[in-house]
Structures are given as structure tokens and as C-alpha cells.
Amino acid sequence: MVLSCSVQKCENKLIKGNGIIFHRLPLHDKELLKKWLKALKIDNCTPTKHYNVCSEHFIEDDYKRSPTGVKLADLLCSAVPSIFSDSSNAKQKPCSLTNKECYEPVCFVPSCKTPKGLPLYNFPFGDKRLLDIWAERTGLSTMYDTELYLTITICKNHFHENCFHDNSIQLKPYAIPSVNLIDYSGPPDSCCLIKSLHSDENSVMTSTGDRTWGWLGSTEEFGRPPEPNEFIVIPKSEIHCEKYAGSNHAAHCFIYAENNERVFDIYNPRASILMQLRYDGYFGFPGGLIDAGEDFVSAVNREMVEEINLNTTIHSVNHDDHIISHWSEKKNLVLHFYKLKVNMTDLIEIERQASLARDYGTEVLGTIRVPLYTLGDHYRGFPVFLNHNFIGCSRDQLIAALTSLNILTPEEIQLALNANSRNI
Ligand SMILES: O=c1[nH]cnc2c1ncn2[C@H]1C[C@H](O)[C@@H](COP(=O)(O)OP(=O)(O)O)O1
């Protein structure tokens, strides 16, 4: 069905490139709605969201402007339609959005002077959440029917180079604009890795074109077994530097409590540390990928709510809790690691709450404690644990945290690393 203007005698329709856009009745604002209904002479009807008023019924001044004065597609919150074919009081020129400063074939972004011939991209009108991010970053309201975005384009100059398939102008599936935008000043993003964006499971492919991964598709390569020395430590002072701006980032957390209560009457556990069994069979820490526009600390706190149901009003991580960051050039992935110290009573409560988490049973198959002691054969206990499979650089993170927090001495760690089942 073609969207058309509901105003009497107006025959405007949504046609790509005609520059006419449509507005719904302001159903959320009673006072304003009354004014619209009166102006539209429909105050005796029940207003519905299917009533559309085209831009021909508004004056220029009804529209918002960017800081540089370019007219936007968004109405001011006081705007009321006032131009009708039988109207005698139309003092100003009607808003004809066909003018070239905003609409095709130019880039929608305010103040962008698209050089001729630069590729233009349509808004992702098929994906509501992705659309919201594009809209927020370009200063466009998402109040409209998504069809309206067909008339608006954004040029190549607003995407980081990592948003494109190799040597092409084809955008990757979850690319988001992040460059040269007045309404966005965060780091340049390559791709938006918000899981819930992956709405059409079957269409999500891995980088090798395999369609069997559902919404894991776009991130599955991060979980591939690392090559020796693939992850290198990056100095704290460099984690925000330009070099890593186009990388994907993830943040995970070392939750621990001091615990010297003897196990089996003999072993001192030193500390209780939480790790988790992941959906892919690896051990890892709670945490995850950083969403577009999110900072590392907010991301790790959010992920801990999703994965272990952490009550972040009681326990949360802040910037000072950073332990270490690693980078894999091959995966274009930066992994940040934080600490969260709690007392034993709280740690037990965190374990209890974990089974109520949103991701429990799907991404997370259980919370575990790391055995830090070594049994009488010098192998079972911590050495065996270190021989399991760990995701990403989580084994290195575990060792870095144990060392930097003085939970085990470097010698104790080395002993465990050297311990070998062949010696028993
Ligand atoms: O605990 C970890 N330590 C270091 N790297 C990790 C850890 N867990 C995962 N990773 C790596 C490898 C993963 O593919 C990416 C993304 O993390 P993940 O937790 O899987 O992210 P989501 O929950 O899917 O957002 O980081």
C-alpha cells in the first residue's frame, strides 16, 4: 500500500525522490493534537496513527534546523499544519522538501557537502533498532513510518573504512555512520554488533559466507581458537588511541572474594573467583562486546546484568578497576579486563542470582569457581584447570589478575603452568 496524505483534497503520495515526507498526528500530546485536529477540520473524528499529513501542509518555520541552519525532516514540537488548498491565510511559502539542500540526490547529514559521484546509502528501514542508531547519529527523528527513509540517503563520508567489504563501496550488514556527524562525537565505529539487531537469523553470515550461525554469524570469528601469541598486551595509556578506534571491543570482569577458609581441612583456596561455562564450551569471564557508542565500563556492567543478573546498584565496575587490555590484530578485536572485589557472602549471592539471568541457559551454561589450590599429586586442582579451553585471552587475563592482585605469587603460577600429568 502506498502511503498517501490523509488531508482532504491532497493527493500527495510517498514516492521515492519527490521530497515529500509525512507526519503522523501528535497522539502523545493532547493539547497539540487538539490544535492539529481543529486545523485539519477533523475534530469530530477519532484520531488514529494511520492519519498522515504531508509536508506540503507545513510552513518552513515548522521544521527543525541543524546547528548550521539546514532544514531537517523533523517538525518542531509546536508545529501545526496550516497550509491547505482552500486556505487563505498561507502567509509563508509552503515547505517544499524537494529543495536540494536536504534531499536526494544529496547526503541527508546537515552541513555535509557530498562531492558529486560519492556513493549514497539508504537508511536501514528494514531494521528498527539499526535505524534508530542511524537516525540518532544523523539527528533525524524516528517518529515516521520506516518507508519514509526511502527518500533519505547518507553518503560514504560518514562511514569508517572498516564498514565496507574489502576494496568495495558495499556496506557491511550492520554498518553504522560514525564520521563527520554533528550529532555524534564518539569513536569511529566499524560495525554495530548489537546482538538484537540481528533480526533475520538466516541472513546473517560469517565472514566466510557460512549461513549456519544464526545471529552469532557476524561475531563468530572472535571466538575461533587463538593462534599462539595472537593476543598482545596493550598499555593502558593506549586503549583509547586512534590505532584501535576502528576495532571491535569487548570487556569482561574478574569477580572475586578473598577466601582463606580451608577446603578439605587442608587447602587454602586464597580467593573465590567466578568464571563461566559458555555456550561454545569454553570457559570465560562475564562480559561481552561493546555496543555502538557505549563506553567499556557501561558495557561490562550491562553485560554482567544480562549474563549473571548482577545487581549493579550494589556492585559495579568503574574505570579504576581496569586490569589489562589485549589486542588481536588478526581478529581486529580489543579485549578489556576489569576487576570487581566483593565479600564472600555477596559472592555466594551473586552465584545464586546468576541462574536467574536473562542469558542463563543460552549464552551462559553455568557459573564456576576457579580452584586455586593444587592437590597432593601436584597436578590436580589449578594445573588441571589451566589445561581447559579458554575463550579469547581469558586464560592470560586470569593469570594477569592473579598476579596483579597478589592472589598467587608468580612462582606459584609458574609451578601450576609447568605441572604436567606425565609427572604423576
Ligand atoms: O572472558 C573473556 N576474556 C577474554 N575474551 C573473551 C572472553 N569472553 C569472550 N571473549 C572474546 C571472544 C568473544 O567472541 C568476544 C566477545 O565476547 P562475548 O562474551 O562472547 O560477547 P557477547 O556476550 O556475545 O557480547 O570476546
The complex's ipTM works out to 0.98
Q: What percent of the chain has pLDDT over 70?
A: 79
Write down the pLDDT at residue 69.
66
CB 317 within 8 A of CB 338: yes
Write down the pLDDT at residue 201.
42
- Cβ of residue 394 lying under 6 Å from some atom of ligand 1: yes
Mutate to test the pocket of ligand 1, among 304, 335, 360, 388 (most ligand atoms within 8 A of CB): 335
* Mean pLDDT within 1-25: 77
Least confident of 112-116, 119-123, 283-287, 321-325: 112-116
Reply yes or no: is the peptide bond before residue 235 cis, omega within 30 of 0.
Answer: no
pLDDT tens, residue by residue, 135-181: 778 776 554 444 455 556 788 899 888 788 777 787 776 788 988 88
Q: Nearest C-alpha to atom 6 of ligand 1 is from which residue?
A: 392
Write down the pLDDT at residue 143.
47
| Count of Cβ atoms closer than 10 Å to residue 268 Cβ | 12
Least confident of 177-181, 204-208, 234-238, 406-410: 204-208
* Mean pLDDT within 376-401: 97
- Alpha-carbon span 259 to 407, nearest angstrom: 10
Mutate to test the pocket of ligand 1, among 194, 195, 222, 305 (most ligand atoms within 8 A of CB): 222
Spacing, Cα 257 to ligand 1 middle (Å): 22
Write down the pLDDT at residue 100.
31
- Cβ of residue 255 lying under 6 Å from some atom of ligand 1: no
Write down the pLDDT at residue 197.
46
pLDDT tens, residue by residue, 345-365: 999 999 999 999 999 999 999
Write down the pLDDT at residue 168.
79
pLDDT higher for 388 or 27? 388
Using CA atoms, how far residue 62 sits from 78, 171, 258, 300, in Å, is: 8, 34, 62, 42
Write down the pLDDT at residue 103.
34
Least confident of 7-16, 291-300, 360-369, 393-402: 7-16
Write down the pLDDT at residue 16.
59
- Cβ of residue 285 lying under 6 Å from some atom of ligand 1: yes
pLDDT tens, residue by residue, 183-217: 777 777 656 554 444 444 444 566 666 667 766 77
Write down the pLDDT at residue 242.
87
Most confident of 82-96, 290-304, 376-390: 376-390
Most confident of 60-69, 104-113, 239-248, 383-392: 383-392
Q: Nearest C-alpha to atom 19 of ligand 1 is from which residue?
A: 288
Spacing, Cα 419 to ligand 1 middle (Å): 28
Spacing, Cα 223 to ligand 1 middle (Å): 7
Q: Nearest C-alpha to atom 8 of ligand 1 is from which residue?
A: 284
Contacts of 346 (CB under 8 A, 6+ apart): 257, 314, 315
pLDDT higher for 76 or 38? 38
CB 304 within 8 A of CB 310: yes
* Mean pLDDT within 110-120: 74
Q: Is the pTM of this model over 0.80?
A: no
* Mean pLDDT within 291-301: 89
Spacing, Cα 288 to ligand 1 middle (Å): 5
